Amino acid sequence: MKRVYAYLLVAGFMLSSLQLFAQKRYIDEVYTDADIEVTSNVIYATNIDFLRSSRLSSAPQLQVGMELMDIKTAIFTGQPIPATHRNLADTTSVIKVQDVKMDIYAPKASADTTSARPVIIYLHTGNFLPSPLNGSPVGTTADSSAIVLCQGWAKRGYVAISADYRLGWNPLASGPTGEFERRGTLLNAVYRSIQDIKQCVAGLKVEASGTNMYKIDPNKIVLYGEGTGGYISLAYNSLDKYSEISLPQFLNPLTQKSFVDTTLVGRIDGSGIPQSLTLYGPPRANMDVAAVVAAGGALADTSWLEAGDKPIIAFQCIRDPFAPFNAGTVIVPTTQEDVVDVTGSNIYIAKANALGLNDAFKDMGNDVYTKIAREKYGKTFDYIYPSPRDKITVNNNLEGLFAIDVKAGASLFQNQAGPWQWWDPNSPLAKAEVQPGVTTHMASLQSNPDMSPAKGRAYVDTIQGYMCPRIAVLHGYYTTTELSAPSLYELNGKTYPNPTNGVLYIDMNDKTIIKSITVSDISGKVVMTKDDLNVTHTSLDLSNLYDGYYFLQVNTELGMATQKVVLAR
């Protein structure tokens, strides 16, 4: 807590309760970059690499069975897996194995003596293919948004983990059965990724019960998935029965059996019979998590959601062209071909709330991010399809959803799905060509045309501002009452004129000092700041902004206050 102590000294030992209001562990950044250490490429699991075992499906079953037995025997006896299965250039084996890794961000022991810290596991995007095969410069544990999110969580006192998972499916399958192959290989890719992340969660819990090197609380683990990772986190939370992968949309029309054959790929926890193509054994620990977060992505079927599932927080662009905001069909980003029907946050969050899954933070109060989110509930927006599907209404019972209203694109796939993403246009991945003359950078700009670090970080700040208080409440660190920011009126302040046609005055009636002001638009993007004020009244010139709703976040000596403002000319 060095920064808090230093601030108290500089401020002349002001009341500690006021400083705690301004800076709360797990909500605000209480550590600096220098206080954080990163441990990269930590192996948390080893399993069959389906992406690089290209000859596996066509190999003789006898050979596959013998190789599988050799690998499992080596694991059971504590011997190294034969090198032929790790060497991709070795053609004598058809099964290749992969070490699945994670990067760990945490406050240094010299800065943080807490012995039981909550964990957030970040799951990257990428369409279950590596960059640039996925047509994008992002899709790794070291994406820009991954690094900034994990650093931000660590600086708030969490242990943050950017976890990889196995990739591989066939989005280019064509012909009469191409759709079935695309669907089947994608569903199996999702299933394998869930098995991997369950191993990650179990491994953390086993380690915590022993030396607890990372000083974690094994009962306070949250999954955060971005894009493709959002699909994983949502399925992790809700897929727990074989019957749920045997619903009609998951059946192969050619066989009338589930695309996911558990005798072949193992149980959802990764274990299986000797002939299963999985190297995970029986569960080593409970694999439950405390909550899941999805920034993009969708849920395979709302029937998966049941009472007793964990809370869900979601961020999704209303006009997301790759994952439906309501119900719709997942498409291949590079070819726009159909894969499988899924359900978006406008529906699955409503069901989660009807089941009471988000009751822990349903009474969040007047903080600016909650207000921005609630402003969209019940509103109708222009949508991405022609009439009569040119409008979409955000549902009302959506506590836990931060819907993002980004300006509509000129065509369907010019609408944004991940405005929080950014990348270096000059990196090798960004310069890789997806087709002659078209780089992944150029292709990805279609759905993120104003991509920049400043824009991406602004959305990351909004994600942190909405998500972190809810996770902190869920873990029992604070109550919703403690985190409810008062209005300016409650602090004896006022704004005028409101609505305004340009200049807005903020007056605290000589009751408290205004230290700084932040102005956010209805999407949560910060559009103006005024720092180092130390006055009881001031003014803002909003004339350069677009007409509409804005939220003031006024930092005073009595704490943070919020106020909605209307700009109308």
Residue 332 has pLDDT above 70, yes or no: no
Strands (E), 168-297: 216-226, 251-252, 257-258, 291-295
**Residue 122 and residue 82 in one domain:** no
Query: Residue 7: what pLDDT?
Result: 28
With a CB cutoff of 8 Å and minimum separation 6, the contacts of 104 are: 38, 39, 40, 42, 159, 160, 161, 214
Can you tell me the distance from the alpha carbon of 226 to that of 123, in angstroms, rounded to the nearest whole number? 6
Q: What is the CB neighbour count within 10 angstroms for residue 130?
A: 14
With a CB cutoff of 8 Å and minimum separation 6, the contacts of 40 are: 103, 104
Query: Residue 367: what pLDDT?
Result: 83
Please check whether residue 163 lies inside any domain of the structure: yes
**Residue 80 and residue 105 in one domain:** no
Query: Residue 450: what pLDDT?
Result: 94
Please check whether residue 484 lies inside any domain of the structure: no
**Residue 111 and residue 249 in one domain:** yes
- pLDDT tens for 358-378 read 999 998 877 889 989 999 999
**Residue 377 and residue 312 in one domain:** yes
The mean pLDDT value for 27-53 works out to 95
Residues 382-396 as b/e (b if ≥16 CB within 10 A, e otherwise) read ebbeeeeeeebebbe
Burial of 141 (0-12, 13-18, 19+ CB in 10 A): buried
Please check whether residue 2 lies inside any domain of the structure: no
The mean pLDDT value for 335-354 works out to 88
**Residue 448 and residue 503 in one domain:** no
Residue 17 has pLDDT above 80, yes or no: no
Q: What CATH number is associated with residue 529?
A: 2.60.40.1930
**Residue 321 and residue 267 in one domain:** yes
Q: Are 257 and 186 in contact (CB under 8 A)?
A: no
Can you tell me the distance from the alpha carbon of 488 to that of 478, in angstroms, rounded to the nearest whole number? 22
Q: Which of 88-97, 170-179, 454-463 has the least mean pLDDT?
A: 170-179
Last residue of a domain, one of 474, 498, 526: 474
- pLDDT tens for 277-318 read 999 999 999 999 999 999 999 999 999 999 999 999 999 999
Can you give the pTM of this predicted structure? 0.86
Query: Residue 489: what pLDDT?
Result: 80
The helix (H) or strand (E) run that includes residue 150 is helix 144-155
Query: Residue 403: what pLDDT?
Result: 97
Q: Which of 76-90, 103-117, 190-204, 522-536 has the least mean pLDDT?
A: 522-536
Burial of 447 (0-12, 13-18, 19+ CB in 10 A): buried
Please check whether residue 17 lies inside any domain of the structure: no
Can you tell me the distance from the alpha carbon of 182 to that of 188, in angstroms, rounded to the nearest whole number? 10
The mean pLDDT value for 382-394 works out to 92
**Residue 470 and residue 524 in one domain:** no
Can you tell me the distance from the alpha carbon of 222 to that of 290, in angstroms, rounded to the nearest whole number? 6
- pLDDT tens for 426-467 read 999 999 999 999 999 999 999 999 999 999 999 999 999 999
* Token digits of residue 406: 């980004």
Phi, psi (deg, nearest 5) at residue 67: -65, -40
Provide the angle, in degrees to the nearest 10, between the axes of the packed helices 453-474 and 368-376. 100
Please check whether residue 1 lies inside any domain of the structure: no
Query: Residue 484: what pLDDT?
Result: 76
Confidence of residue 1 (pLDDT cuts 50, 70, 90): very low
Last residue of a domain, one of 42, 70, 93: 93
**Residue 81 and residue 188 in one domain:** no
Please check whether residue 483 lies inside any domain of the structure: no
DSSP letter at 299 equals B
Can you tell me the distance from the alpha carbon of 297 to that of 466, in angstroms, rounded to the nearest whole number? 18
Domain count along the chain: 3
Mean of the per-residue pLDDT values of the chain: 91
Q: Which of 115-124, 266-275, 325-334 has the least mean pLDDT?
A: 325-334
Residue 551 has pLDDT above 70, yes or no: yes
**Residue 381 and residue 441 in one domain:** yes
Please check whether residue 513 lies inside any domain of the structure: yes
**Residue 469 and residue 542 in one domain:** no
Can you tell me the distance from the alpha carbon of 262 to that of 279, in angstroms, rounded to the nearest whole number? 13
The mean pLDDT value for 380-406 works out to 93
- pLDDT tens for 241-254 read 999 999 998 999 99
- pLDDT tens for 474-511 read 999 998 877 877 778 878 899 999 999 999 999 999 88
Please check whether residue 10 lies inside any domain of the structure: no
**Residue 443 and residue 537 in one domain:** no
**In the chain, % of residues over pLDDT 70:** 95
Can you tell me the distance from the alpha carbon of 218 to that of 239, in angstroms, rounded to the nearest whole number? 21
Confidence of residue 20 (pLDDT cuts 50, 70, 90): very low
Can you tell me the distance from the alpha carbon of 369 to that of 523, in angstroms, rounded to the nearest whole number? 9
CA-wise closest residue to 214 among 139, 256, 157, 267: 157
Q: What CATH number is associated with residue 106?
A: 3.40.50.1820
Can you tell me the distance from the alpha carbon of 95 to that of 86, in angstroms, rounded to the nearest whole number? 9
Query: Residue 10: what pLDDT?
Result: 30
Q: Are 156 and 258 in contact (CB under 8 A)?
A: no
Last residue of a domain, one of 435, 450, 474: 474
Question: What Cα–Cα distance (Å) separates residue 497 from each residue in 152, 540, 549, 565?
Answer: 37, 11, 14, 9
What is the domain range of residue 355?
Answer: 24-52+96-474
Query: Residue 561: what pLDDT?
Result: 85
Confidence of residue 404 (pLDDT cuts 50, 70, 90): very high
**Residue 396 and residue 349 in one domain:** yes
* Token digits of residue 390: 């040119």
Residue 148 has pLDDT above 60, yes or no: yes
